[in-house]
């Protein structure tokens, strides 16, 4: 439940020190109700941890705080959540020092957390398989959608590059696609056999029906025989993502992330992935090594007897 701004907020359960601190924040009047609730949640976690060690909030030292944050990370808390908790306890101990509860600030020695680059959610290989199987390939539109999804996953194209492809940019015989990326830079990307088979069938069976008596240089066509729009493809892939029951946050860009991560998972070198993605800097591609490493660590913790 969201509390309207300016409305009184009843203090949530907690020790006397925490209650007084939350009352102080509310009386200052510069925090939204949701932010106030977040402070309460963060500090109650610390309060509970300290209570298990026979200590109160006001008694904690720097070692207590660093151990608490480290355990939160080990328990799988997101880095963004840990950074917010650090901000909460900094504010609490600054208040405790001003109130004379203690003579020092135990949070002063804790370093600020560097959030770093956000790691995008990546569908698993099983989820991608379910997504690629979602279109009904016995229909014209289903076959078109299957061809688009297969090509997207096979090449790591950006969605703008995919919908902007011309028929002449796909070479079925050579098994490659030529695309214009950012800055109008050309890159030639190999296409796997599975995707090529679906594309070949789309070109023979579905595209002629979508084109009818019209002419269009676009590779992928709408029911009006025109190039697919990004908005239309977004709606399409979102529906298939729901059908495939993909749990992570899903978008058209998710298949680009999956393309790169799964290649690295199976031993591809970073430089090759960079070239296929069209990244100007290798450092941009390196985010996918972090994703792959995080996945390996997760699998190790889950399955290794000493994980």
Task: Give the catalytic positions in this structure.
Answer: 158, 182, 253, 256, 279, 288
- β pairing state of 170-171 and 176-180: antiparallel
Q: With the CA atoms of 53, 57, 59 and 61 taken in that order, what torsion angle do they form, in degrees rounded to the nearest 10?
A: 80
Task: Show Cβ contacts of residue 149 under 8 Å, excluding neighbours closer than 6 positions.
Answer: 131, 132, 135, 237, 240, 255
C-alpha triplet 20, 62, 35: angle, nearest 5°: 40
């Amino acid at each position: 439940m969201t509390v309207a701004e300016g409305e009184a907020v009843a203090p949530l359960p907690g020790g006397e020190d925490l209650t007084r601190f939350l009352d102080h924040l509310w009386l200052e009047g510069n925090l939204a109700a949701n932010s106030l609730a977040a402070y309460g949640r963060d500090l109650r976690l610390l309060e509970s941890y300290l209570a298990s060690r026979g200590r109160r909030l006001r008694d904690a030292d720097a070692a207590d705080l660093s151990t608490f944050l480290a355990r939160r990370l080990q328990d799988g808390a997101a880095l963004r959540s840990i950074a917010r908790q650090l901000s909460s306890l900094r504010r609490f101990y600054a208040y405790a020092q001003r109130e004379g509860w203690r003579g020092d600030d135990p949070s002063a020695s804790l370093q600020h957390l560097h959030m770093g680059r956000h790691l995008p959610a990546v569908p698993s290989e099983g989820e991608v398989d379910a997504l690629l199987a979602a279109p009904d390939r016995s229909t014209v539109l289903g076959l078109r959608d299957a061809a688009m999804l297969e090509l997207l996953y096979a090449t790591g194209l950006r969605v703008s590059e995919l919908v902007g492809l011309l028929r002449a940019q796909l070479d079925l015989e050579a098994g490659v696609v030529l695309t214009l990326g950012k800055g109008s830079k050309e890159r030639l990307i190999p296409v796997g056999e599975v995707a090529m088979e679906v594309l070949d069938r789309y070109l023979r069976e579905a595209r002629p029906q979508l084109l009818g008596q019209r002419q269009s240089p676009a590779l992928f066509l709408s029911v009006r025989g025109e190039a697919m729009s990004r908005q239309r493809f977004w709606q399409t892939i979102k529906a298939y993502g729901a059908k495939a029951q993909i749990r992570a946050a899903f978008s058209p860009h998710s298949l680009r992330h999956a393309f790169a991560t799964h290649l690295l998972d199976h031993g591809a070198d970073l430089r090759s992935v960079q070239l296929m993605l069209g990244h100007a800097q290798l450092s941009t591609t390196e985010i996918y090594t972090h994703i792959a490493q995080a996945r390996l660590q997760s699998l190790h913790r889950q399955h290794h007897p000493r994980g």
